[in-house]
Amino acid sequence: MLPQRKDNKVKCVEEVDNIRNFMKILQVTPYFPPHLGGVEYHVKGLADGLHNRGYDVEVASSCGSSRMKFIHVPCINFMYFPVPLRFPKTMADIYHSHVPSPTFAFHMREASPHVVTYHNDVVVPPRVNGFGFPGIIRASLERINKKMVEPVLDKAEIIIATTRSYAETSKTLSQHLHKVRIVPNAIDASLYQPSKSREPYVIYAGRLVDYKGIDTLIAAMGDVQKEADIKLVLAGDGYDRKNLEERARRLGVDALFTGRGEYSRLIDLISRAEMLVLPTAVRLEAFGIVLLEAMACETPVLAFDTPGVSEVAREGGMVFSDRSELCELILDLHENEPLRAALGRHGRCAVVEKYSWPRVLDEIESIYDEVT
């Protein structure tokens, strides 16, 4: 009987591999690396992982390049809404779109089976790419987004959200919970290693734009540095960098702005920090992949208590709801090395067990099986 079971298992694996080799997956995304962004690199990791598992993967995007089949869609770029001038006819066994922005997914709304990953709500901030927008224009853009997203979600077979707390508190997703599946973002934990020594600084890593809440972090560090010798490191670049540098000077905050550098340098900075802070307080930040990167380095994380982000941050750190609470948490962690170490170990374990690509790809495959 044992040899028979083994033969059946081998045959079953061979059949699955054959199915994969004939199944074409089209990943549809507004932007693709080297364009920077969490959604972009999530789609790249997903496409690469599925390709490595034997699927025929094709990517359609306004920009980028891939070792797989790539469809370049000519667009007019309007802020973060690339508007396709034309969308090539495509054939696939599964169509997988990513929003925001909605313009690409909208072109796929009649495709079937259609899986949509809803990465975050669209909340237009007062300033975008350095330009201010009156409230009436922001509200109009949000209404346009809603009108385009709703028919996509209505017709999609499955909607993927990255956390349950975000899905349940989203005005858009809460209307479709019956077909929402939770699949988190992922990273390759093997690429991140904890540093043997820590240095007394707090790090922020990401774009330097106003909606990220960096001004709150700078103000909190002004209070922290009155009581402890802790530097602030801001890794990244963006249209608000000069304003933030001026704010730090005005408040007398000891802050180092590193600019955008090599990725290996960024991970080194994160791994040597006492903690990483993600201060974004708006729903444009729905998950925070940088939290996973810090947790993989066993660096404790502090994040604003917003749905989605807080769910991830509690796996390897703590959350705060205002500037004074952030200041207290920074000082407490700075003075408590055993707690930092414990949070760091817990965070890395969570990344390995819950947020690894093998686990996420298994869940994606299960969803693909569900719609075919």
Burial 67-80 (b: 16+ CB within 10 A, else e): ebeeeebebeeeee
- Provide mean pLDDT across the span 209-215: 93
189-354 shares the fold of 7-186+356-371: yes
- Tell me the domain boundaries of the chain: 7-186+356-371, 189-354
For 49-190, list the strands marked E by DSSP. 56-61, 69-72, 75-78, 81-84, 94-99, 114-118, 127-128, 131-132, 158-161, 180-182
CATH 3.40.50.2300 fits 7-186+356-371, yes or no: no
CA 214 – CA 85 distance, rounded (Å)? 36
Q: Residue 19 pLDDT more than 70? A: no
Residues 6 or more apart whose CB falls under 8 angstroms from that of 5 comprise none
Query: Residue 121 has which token pair?
Result: 């709500």
Find tokens 């020594």 and name the residue: 197
Q: Are 273 and 202 in contact (CB under 8 A)?
A: yes
Q: Residue 14 pLDDT more than 70? A: no
More confident residue, 197 or 18: 197
Q: What distances in angstroms separate CA 361 from CA 51, 273, 339, 353, one per listed residue?
A: 11, 31, 33, 13
Lowest mean pLDDT segment, chosen from 28-32, 86-90, 154-158: 86-90
Q: Are 66 and 85 in contact (CB under 8 A)?
A: no
Whole-model pTM: value is: 0.90
Q: Residue 12 pLDDT more than 80? A: no
Q: What pLDDT, on the 0 to 100 scale, is given for residue 66?
A: 81
Number of residues that this document lists for the chain: 372
CA angle 96, 129, 153 (to 5 degrees): 25
Q: What pLDDT, on the 0 to 100 scale, is given for residue 131?
A: 67
* Domain covering 189-354, topology: Rossmann fold (3.40.50)
Q: What pLDDT, on the 0 to 100 scale, is given for residue 1?
A: 35
Q: What distances in angstroms separate CA 309 from CA 111, 214, 271, 347, one per listed residue?
A: 31, 16, 20, 14
Provide the H-helix boundaries in the chain: 2-22, 38-52, 103-107, 135-155, 164-169, 214-224, 241-250, 263-272, 289-296, 309-313, 323-335, 337-354, 357-371
List, for residues 325-365, the tens digit of each pLDDT value: 999 999 999 999 999 999 999 999 999 999 999 999 999 99
CA 270 – CA 290 distance, rounded (Å)? 10
Query: Residue 153 has which token pair?
Result: 């979600």
Chain mean pLDDT for the chain? 91
Q: What pLDDT, on the 0 to 100 scale, is given for residue 21?
A: 61
Q: What distances in angstroms separate CA 108 from CA 60, 64, 88, one per listed residue?
A: 11, 20, 11
CA 299 – CA 24 distance, rounded (Å)? 39
